[in-house]
């Protein structure tokens, strides 16, 4: 009986020590894991040609990522996207536009053309990345991850058209996907954004 009690106490002590060690290191491990697993943990170019890691740039922010085009029926969505940026930007929302020319060749211009168009016609001040493919073998790694059933089974599937929207929480995880025709200022999009913004890190 005495031997049994000693064995229990030793075992219990080991468990307590192990638990303490884990607790001590858990914050660092959690942050590292969150960054590693986020689809945003990729390097891309901004519209003006600067390299940027999206996970680092938007750390702690709610991100609405939208593949955009200048000559599409959905192009007027730039206006409500800019409105969202102006309304919620100070609360932690980042709107990120990703030009793409794969749908009806509706984004044929250069980076300079795109920048001028967005500024002149819609007063866009939110972040814009350089033009990329979002489907197929040449798709940007970000979109390969976002559309893959293996990496994101809940929101997978090819991008269907311009202005498809992905919403990321403050940890860089996808929490919602909205169809191209869904307006950025629709109640479902705004509600989803407000819900994520309310979750302070």
Listed residue (158, 56, 144, 145) closest to 103, CA to CA: 158
How many whole angstroms from its chain centre is CA 154? 14
DSSP for residue 129? B
E strands in 4-160: 43-45, 51-53, 62-68, 93-99, 127-128
Active site (annotated) includes residue 118: no
Q: Which of 102, 118, 135, 103 is nearest to 48 (CA)?
A: 118
Catalytic residue among 8, 72, 100, 118: 72
Catalytic machinery residues: 72
């Amino acid at each position: 009986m005495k031997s049994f009690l000693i064995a229990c106490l030793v075992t219990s002590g080991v468990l307590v020590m192990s638990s303490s060690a884990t607790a001590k290191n858990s914050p660092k491990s959690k942050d590292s894991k969150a960054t590693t697993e986020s689809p945003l943990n990729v390097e891309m170019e901004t519209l003006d040609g600067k390299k940027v890691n999206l996970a680092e740039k938007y750390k702690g922010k709610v991100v609405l990522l939208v593949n955009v085009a200048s000559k599409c029926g959905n192009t007027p969505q730039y206006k409500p996207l800019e409105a969202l940026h102006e309304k919620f930007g100070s609360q932690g929302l980042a709107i990120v536009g990703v030009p793409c020319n794969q749908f009806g060749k509706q984004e044929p211009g250069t980076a300079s053309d795109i920048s001028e168009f967005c500024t002149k016609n819609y007063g866009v001040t939110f972040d814009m990345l350089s033009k990329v493919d979002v489907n197929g073998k040449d798709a940007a790694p970000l979109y390969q991850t976002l559309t893959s059933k293996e990496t994101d089974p809940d929101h997978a599937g090819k991008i269907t058209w311009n202005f498809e929207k992905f919403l990321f929480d403050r940890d860089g995880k996808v929490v919602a996907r909205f169809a191209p025709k869904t307006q950025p200022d629709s109640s479902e999009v705004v509600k989803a954004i407000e819900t994520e913004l309310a979750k302070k890190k």
